[in-house]
Structure formats: C-alpha cells, structure tokens
Amino acid sequence: MTLYADVILPLPLQGLYTYSVAQEAINSVHAGSRVIVQFGKKKFYTAIVFRTYQKETLEQPVKEIVTVLEEYPIATPLQLKFWEWVAMYYMCSLGDVYRAALPSALKLESETLVLLNPDFEDGNPLTTKEQKVFYCLSPDRAKTIAEIEKLSGLSNAVTAIKSLVDKQAAYISENIQDHYTAKSQTAIRLAKHYTEDELNAIIDELGRAKKQQHLFSIFLCLNGKTPLVLKKTLLDEAGASSAALSELLKKGYLETYEHEVSRFDYGQTNIDAAFDLNQYQQKAFDEIKESLEEKDITLLYGVTSSGKTEIYIQLIKEAIAEGKQVLYLLPEIALTTQITNRLKAVFGNKLAVYHSKFNDNERAEIWNNLLKNKEIQVVLGARSAVFLPFSSLGLVIVDEEHESSYKQQEPAPRYNARNAAIVLASLCNAKTLLGTATPALETYTNALSGRYGLVKLTKRYENIELPQIAVVNIKELRRKKQMKSLLSPPLIEGMKEALSKKEQVILFQNRRGFASMLECKNCSWTPHCHHCDVSLTYHKGQRMMVCHYCGSTYEIPAICPECETPTLDTLGYGTERIEEEVTQLFPKTSVARMDLDTTRGKRSYERIISDFEQNKTNILIGTQMVSKGLDFDNVSIVGILNADNMLNYPDFRAYERAFQLMTQVSGRAGRKNKQGLVFLQTSHPGSPLISSVKRNDYESFFEMQMQERKVFRYPPYFRLINIIVRGRDEHLTDSAAREFASALRNTFGERVLGPGKPPVSRIQSLYIRHILLKIENRASIQKVRESIYHHQSVVFANPAFKSILLHYDVDPM
Ligand code: ADP
Ligand code: ZN
Ligand code: ZN
C-alpha cells in the first residue's frame, strides 16, 4: 500500500493534484499539511494537502512529494471545508482560495526563486514593469527577488513578478526554507546555576575589573526581579558598554540567548475596562442572548451612536469566559485606532488585530498563535480574517454588515466576508451577530422572515437625539441665483454659527459618480435606461451613454427631453474643489480633506482623524471615508453637498447605498445635550428617498426599495451571477461572450442579460464583456452552477476560444 495525497496548488486551476508520499514521510503528511511538490517540468510550489488515502497503485503514475514543511498541518480540517465552500459558492478554484487565505509569509514568497518560462507564448501583453523583470530572468538559473530588483533597477519587483507568474511568463522555484521568522530579542542569563556563595565569589573575583563587577551586580539585581533580562535593558540600566558584557560572556559567567517576542503584546486583559451598559443597551444585550439561543444568526439593528461596540464587548467577554474564540469583523476602513484601542483596553493580549496593512510576518504570527491555540481569543479583523485557523470559534460579530467593502472584487475568490463569516460560524457551530444602523436589504429581509433573529436599539447613548435633517432645495436656490458656491446659504450660515461656538463641521461629498453622468442644468433631468431603471453612464470617449446593466447604448440628446433646452452637462464635483471654496469662505478656519488622495500614506488617515478629534481642524471634508465608524463628540453640523449624484449612480443598489451613506454621515452629528443639524442639499427635495432619510425612516425606505427590486428582478428576490469574459482580441472576445450567452439562454431564457460592455471595457489591453444572470432565489443554486459549467465546457471547447479568459462574480456588489 502507498499513501497518496491530493493537494491544492496555489494556482487558478480547477481540481486537485495527486502525489505519492515517501515511506519515511507518511506520519507527517495529513490533510492541511504544507508540502513542496513539483508541477510541470521544473516548477515547484508550496501546496496544501487536501486529503490523504491508501491505495495499492494508481492507474497513472504520479510524482512524489518533495518535502513536507512542518510536522503539523498548517490548515485545520474545518478550514479546508470552509475553503471548499468558498470555491464552490463563488465559482473559483481551491487554489484561488488558498492564495487568499494564507498570509504570504506562509507561502514562502520572499525566499522565492524565479525562473523564466522558456515555453512562454507571447499571448499576454506585458506592462513595462513586467518587461523589465522579464528580461532579467533566465530559464536555467533561478534568481532571487533581491537579485531581480538589483538587475532591473526596480525597487519593488514583487508585483511584477507575481503578474508574470500569473501570465505564465515566469515560474517560481521555491526555496524549502521557511521565510517566516518570529521576532526575537537578545536576552542574558547566567551560564549555569550558581549557589549564593559562588555568586559572591564571582563578584569578589571581578574586584579589579570595576565595570564588569558593576554590570554583573546590576544583572543579579534585575534577574532577581524578572527571569527575562534583555541585553538592551541590562546595558541601559548599568550604563555600561557592550565591551564589559563581552568580557563576562567570555569568562563564562553569563550567556546570551534569543528570546522570542510576540508582536502583539497589548498588555494584560482588563475586563473592568468594559463600561457598564445603560438600560437600553442591557435590554438589547439580553434580547440578543435570548435570540441566539434559538437562532444561529441575529441582527442588531441599532441607530448610530447607540453604543453597539459596548454590547459586543460584553458578548465577547462571555464567550471567552466559556473558552470560546471570537471573530469581530469590520470593514477595512473602519478598523481605526479608535476601535482597536477600545478593544485593547479591555482584552489586552487576548486580542489580535488582523489587517492588510500589517506585514506578512505579523499575519503569520497571528495564524500560528491561533493554530496552536495560544493566548489569542479575540480577532478584530478586516474581511480576510475569516480565513484564520480558529479552533474553538463561538461567536462571530460582523459590524457595519451592510458595507459593500466586505465584498472582495479582485482577484478571486470574489467573496462577501459577511456571508462567508456566517457559513464559517455554522461550520464551527458558532453564533453570528450582524450589527448596523442601516441593514442591507438582504439582511433585513432575512430578519423579517424570521430566518435571523432581530433586536432593535433605537436610543442613542446618553439619549443624544438623532440629528435634525434640513433638506435644502438647491434647484430652487439655483433658479433664484442664490447658489454662489457649492455650499448653499443655509449651510454656510449654519457653519458660521457652529464655528463661532468652537464646534466642528463635516462636509460630505460622494466620490462615485464624478463627471460620469449627464444632467440638465435647467431642470435636473438625468437619462435612464429604458430596460433597467438605472441612470446611464456618460462615456466621453465614445460620446455615448451606456447602461451598465444590460449594455444598451444611447445617443446623447441635443436638447433636454424634459424642458427642451440645450443645457445637458456633465455632473459631479470633487472634494478638492469643495476644499478650495471652503477655504475662500472661511479663510481663518483650519480645514482638512479626507479622500483617497490624501490618505495614501500608512498613517495619514489616522493623523487626519486624530487632528479632528483633538479639534486641531474645524472642518473636515471627505468622501465615504468620513462615514465609517468614527465617533467625534464636537460635531454639530454635517453638510451633504449633493445627494443626487448618489441616486443617479448607475447601479441597482444606488438608492440603498445613498440611504445608508446619508444616514451614516448624518450620524456623525450630535453632541451631549445638543441635537446635531444636517444640511442635505438636493434638487429633488420631494423624492421619497430624501424624505425617508429626513424622517430617519428605514422601514418606509425598505418597503419602497423592495418593490423596485421585485419588479426589476434584483436581490433579495433574485440572485445575480456576473460572468466576465476577457480577451486580447475584441472581436473574438465579443463572439465568445455572445456564444456563451446564447448557450446559457437555452437553459435560462430571459434570465440571461447581455453580453454588455462594462464601464471600463478594456483593461490592460484585455477587452471585457459581461453576461448577467438573474436567478430566482428559490432555484437550486447547485443545479444552476452545474448547468453554467456544462455550457462553459461546451462553448469553450472550441479551440478558437483558447485564449479567452473567463471568470464568475457571484452576488456582485
Ligand atoms: P455605535 O457603534 O452604535 O455607533 P459606539 O459604540 O461608537 O456607537 O458608541 C458611541 C459613543 O458612546 C462612544 O464614544 C462610546 O464610547 C460611548 N458609549 C457607548 N456606550 C457606553 C457605555 N455603556 N458607557 C460609556 N460610554 C459608552
Ligand atoms: Zn431639462
Ligand atoms: Zn439597461
């Protein structure tokens, strides 16, 4: 009998690959083990064993596993099950999931040796950076990344190397050596055990070397207090040079050793740092617990600033007291120091923060800590934290569950971390709590139908009132020629008053929709698609308007069909222009701008927030970033500069996002004993959406949207699968997409839309077409997938389509 292992390769290949296990390795190869295997002629990869089994022989001879990287599996059986679900549901390969799941330090990327693929067919065009790297490579002698960087003169060649590997222009020959290194510090200890008398004798003996004697005494003194004496501490305390220390080491009294330190030493857990809940929070807490007894998933629908975090903290406390682990998910951008500090204060070194801005070693350390079930019990993380190796997960919290940034767009797996977390929790028999002030329509539907429990919290902490929302009709003001700037007179007045009282102001401008729409300057008419009820996107290059959903194109009308004047204009303005106007209006006030451009640096985002927190800046101008989980206590005015460009965004979720954004941004206003004031500037003051925002009436907004979703066949009534077809040749791409769509129509009929051109229809010289599938929610998704794959295999068996790339985006957002 031989032991065989089916492994997952870190490649976008469907299926598993089988290798045999050498006799001497059979005890160290298990499901979840990390192994090095050869794949192709010369390529070596770190693979993960998916399963092992005994068999006499296989029909096809297979290669043997080259090396097993460690004695213990690095992924748990539960994780492998989870990966399998992600790959199946999101229609990608297990290799895609493996690549997303493991921190790259565990994928050995930094020690990676790179080779040129001599069989590379120039089917894929290379970028300049890729070309530079490509010409440094050789097919016979592997080069390290460092060498390549030197040769190519690039300071960071890793991304280019990665994409070359993806394009199969280069391949990786990985070094067996593990790149991951724990951070360590040099510490000092006695070379052997000495008796009291012996120690005194040493001190006497050192009598003539005063410096060494002093150093030795200080060491004994420190050593009496703590078993860990760091070299640095000792030298600092003694004010001594390392020369004296080397003498003592040479004489054999002391010795050095490496002390491994955790990077996550947040100090002791201090459960008392948790606040007492007020009566409303306590009631919600009790209801959540009761609900979770019965249901696996519960929605906490609590208004902004109701103190949801404190409720989570209490729930986490209870879970860890029972020895359970907790996963607390937040959208990346909401993972600010505000929230991490709050949790650190309570959970100390039981807490780990898992974040894409951390380096790989830090992430690998959290991975290993959880795998070995050491001190970490709470992980606060962005979406990729769902892939960590939990062993006793008891509770998952998804805060701001409505956030679209939970969805990974690129690359595969294109998963929604909220939904994946729910599945992870159910695999672990854990409970899930979703929290938000503005539930996603899908989530609220589930809560109303009873699939999820529902707990409401309608009081803000300290009974601060929800802000008052003043709707400003800018169309009317424009007509009366009173709009002298982007800020309306009432908003300017409000700001003046607030600033004079040393209160702060937030101005919000939606980033999306910048100059991509047309609007009539006279009557505010905007063009919509005849088939899809979304507004059209203006494509400057083509002088066309396009519907992003069905792909229909429209001519640009010469005059406005509504009011018949020739005043169609592109719409939208950026935060930069607002900043300019604000500094002119308030020259003596300190203004900060927070958007993608001003927050590129690692720390800049936090600096802008802390300056504002400390009242160093008085006006904060920003995009959606200012709406995310921030808690300021001196903001009395919020200005929403243009509500309309959120509504006109060509996406069926535009209204939902607009409602969420406006509610969240408004939620930043309001201080103790004082109600906040929001100025909402719009050309459509009477629209039902604006009035539901004004009344803070989620329910009526929900009803309204659900009707539209039903009529136009969108989620939550329908499930969407977007099929993305890409190719170098536009004609070929187009015909592949058409053929695939018409094949799909044989099964799915009018549920198939397209193919259409996406807004950016050519990326990196690849032409792109989208096919959208709308499937009734009650349909078996399993059968749907099977049928799609069937049509795919038939259509793409055509050798003409060999170079066409295809991928799926399930539940696109
Ligand atoms: P939410 O997440 O619901 O919008 P937060 O959790 O950010 O609200 O709470 C709003 C503010 O109220 C924070 O400054 C928080 O520290 C404070 N707060 C909430 N609950 C309590 C409590 N029970 N005791 C003391 N402060 C609280
Ligand atoms: Zn008009
Ligand atoms: Zn359309």
Round to whole Å and give the CA distance between 695 and 622.
24
Q: What is the DSSP string of 657-722?
A: HHHHHHHHHHTT--BTTB--EEEEEES-TT-HHHHHHHTT-HHHHHHHHHHHHHHTT-TTTEEEEE
Please give the Cα distance from 674 to 636 (Å, whole number).
8
pLDDT of residue 126: 81
Rounded to an integer, what distance in angstroms lies between the CA atom of residue 92 and that of residue 88?
Answer: 7
| pLDDT, greater one: 647 or 51 | 51
- Helix intervals (H) in 372-488: 417-427, 441-449, 474-479
Residue 84 near residue 31, CB atoms below 8 Å? no
Q: Is the peptide bond before 413 cis (omega within 30 degrees of 0)?
A: yes
Domains 468-511+587-708 and 718-810 share a fold: no
Provide CB contacts within 8 A for 444, sequence distance 6+: 299, 301, 702
Task: Tell me the sheet residues that pair with 106.
Answer: none
The residue that leads in pLDDT, 593 or 432, is: 432
How far is Cα 300 from Cα 293, in angstroms, rounded to an integer? 15
Q: What is the CA radius of gyration of the chain?
A: 30
**What is the residue with the minimal CA distance to atom 24 of ligand 1?**
275
Give the number of whichever ligand sits closest to the CA of residue 336: 1
Percent of the chain with pLDDT over 90: 46
- Which tens digits make up the pLDDT trace of 712-727? 999 999 999 999 999 9
Report the predicted TM-score, pTM, of the whole model to 2 decimal places.
0.76
Are the CB atoms for 229 and 223 separated by under 8 Å?
yes
Which of 200, 318, 693 shows the shortest CA–CA distance to 468?
A: 693
Q: Would you say 19 and 5 are in contact if contact means Cβ atoms under 8 Å apart?
A: yes
Ligand with an atom nearest the CA of residue 464: 1
Return the best residue to mutate from 272, 288, 300, 309 for the ligand 1 pocket (most ligand atoms within 8 A of CB). Answer: 309
CA of 683 to the centre of ligand 2 (A): 12
Residue 106: other Cβ atoms inside 10 A: 22
Question: What number does CATH give the domain 718-810?
Answer: 3.30.70.600
Domain 271-461 has CATH 2.40.10.10: no
In the predicted model, is pLDDT for residue 105 greater than 60?
A: no
CA–CA distance, 36 with 59 (Å, rounded to integer): 23
Pairwise pLDDT comparison (732 vs 173), residue with the higher score = 732
Say if ligand 1 is within 6 A of residue 628 CB. Answer: no
Indicate whether residue 310 lines ligand 1 (CB < 6 A).
yes
Over range 752-757, report the average pLDDT. 91
pLDDT given at position 176 = 32
Query: Which segments of 714-803 does DSSP mark as H helices, in order?
Result: 730-748, 781-795
Q: Residue 765 has what pLDDT?
A: 66
Mean pLDDT, to the nearest integer, of 747-768?
Answer: 82
**Alpha carbon of 102 to those of 10, 57, 80, 735: distances in Å?**
10, 32, 12, 37
Q: Which residue has the higher pLDDT, 547 or 442?
A: 442
The single-letter DSSP state of residue 441 is H
Expressed in angstroms and rounded, the spacing between residue 461 Cα and the centre of ligand 1 is: 6
Alpha carbon of 686 to those of 471, 473, 610: distances in Å?
Answer: 9, 9, 38
The pLDDT of 547-562, averaged and rounded, is 79
Q: Candidates 278, 305, 329: which one to mutate for ligand 1, based on the most atoms within 8 Å of Cβ? A: 305
Instruction: Output the CA 544–ligand 3 centroid distance in Å.
Output: 14
Pair 651, 534: CB distance under 8 Å: yes
More confident residue, 119 or 307: 307
Peptide bond into 103 cis (omega under 30): no
Rounded to an integer, what distance in angstroms lies between the CA atom of residue 560 and that of residue 562?
5
> Does the beta carbon of 663 lie inside 6 Å of ligand 1?
no
| Omega before residue 527 within 30° of 0, cis | no
Q: Look at ligand 1, atom 26, and give the residue with the nearest C-alpha.
A: 275
Average pLDDT over residues 635-664: 88
Highest mean predicted confidence (pLDDT) among 221-235, 487-501, 631-645:
487-501
pLDDT score recorded for residue 269? 64
Residue 690's pLDDT is 94
**Pairing between strand 254-260 and 351-354?**
unpaired
SS3 track for 569-595: EECCCCHHHHHHHHHHHCCCCCEEEEC
- CA geometry: angle at 774 spanning 768 and 775, to 5°? 135
The pair phi, psi for residue 252, each rounded to 5°, is 85, 15
Characterize the bridge pairing of strands 297-302 and 431-436.
parallel
The residue contributing the CA closest to ligand 1 atom 14 is 631
Range in 47-61, 227-241, 501-515 the model is least confident about: 501-515
Burial zone of 60 (CB within 10 Å; 0-12 exposed, 13-18 middle, 19+ buried): exposed
The residue-averaged pLDDT of 394-403 equals 96
DSSP state of 24: G
Cβ neighbourhood burial of 647 (10 Å; 0-12, 13-18, 19+)? buried
Measured CA to CA in angstroms, residue 562 lies from 334, 618, 650 at distances of 42, 42, 20
Residue 294: the pLDDT is: 95
The domain locations on the chain are: 2-108, 110-172, 184-260, 271-461, 468-511+587-708, 515-572, 718-810
Residues 503-518: b if buried by 16+ CB within 10 A, e if exposed: bbbbbbbbebbeebbb
Alpha helices in 65-195 (DSSP H): 77-89, 94-101, 128-134, 145-152, 158-166
Q: Is the minimum distance from the CB of 325 to ligand 1 under 6 angstroms?
A: no
Res 178: pLDDT: 39
Query: What pLDDT is stored for residue 108 in this prediction?
Result: 43
Predicted confidence (pLDDT) at residue 189 exceeds the cutoff of 50: yes
For residue 338 and ligand 1, the question of a CB distance below 6 A is answered with no
Q: For residue 556, how far is its CA from the centre of ligand 2 (angstroms)?
A: 13
CA of 311 to the centre of ligand 1 (A): 9
Residue position matching structure tokens 């990326």:
763
Superfamily for the 2-108 domain: PriA, 3(prime) DNA-binding domain (3.40.1440.60)
Point out the ligand nearest to the CA of residue 569: 2
Q: Average pLDDT of the chain?
A: 85
Domain spanning 468-511+587-708, CATH class: alpha beta
DSSP per-residue string spanning 345-388: HHHGGGEEEE-TTS-HHHHHHHHHHHHTT-S--EEEE-GGGGGS
- Ligand 1 atom showing the smallest separation from residue 302 Cα: 3
pLDDT at residue 152, as a whole number: 80
CA of 519 to the centre of ligand 3 (A): 18
Q: Residue 107: is its pLDDT beyond 50?
A: yes
Q: Under a CB-based contact definition with an 8 Å cutoff, are residues 334 and 381 in contact?
A: no
Q: Tell me if 281 CB under 6 Å of ligand 1.
A: yes
Average pLDDT over residues 243-262: 83
Cα of 570 vs centre of ligand 2, distance in Å, is 13
Q: Ligand 1 in contact with 742 (CB < 6 A)?
A: no
Q: What pLDDT score does 177 carry?
A: 34
Task: Compute the distance between CA of residue 776 and CA of residue 220 in angstroms, rounded to an integer.
Answer: 75
Residue type at 460 in one-letter notation:
R
| Residue 381 CB less than 6 A away from ligand 1 | no
Q: Rounded CA gap, 641 and 681, in Å?
A: 5
The per-residue pLDDT for range 444-457, each reduced to its tens digit, is 999 999 999 999 99
* pLDDT tens-digit readout, 572-608: 456 767 888 899 999 999 999 887 666 666 677 778 8
With 60 as the cut, is the pLDDT of residue 512 above it?
Answer: no
Q: Which of 165, 74, 70, 155 is nearest to 114 (CA)?
A: 165
- Residue % of the chain over a pLDDT of 70: 87
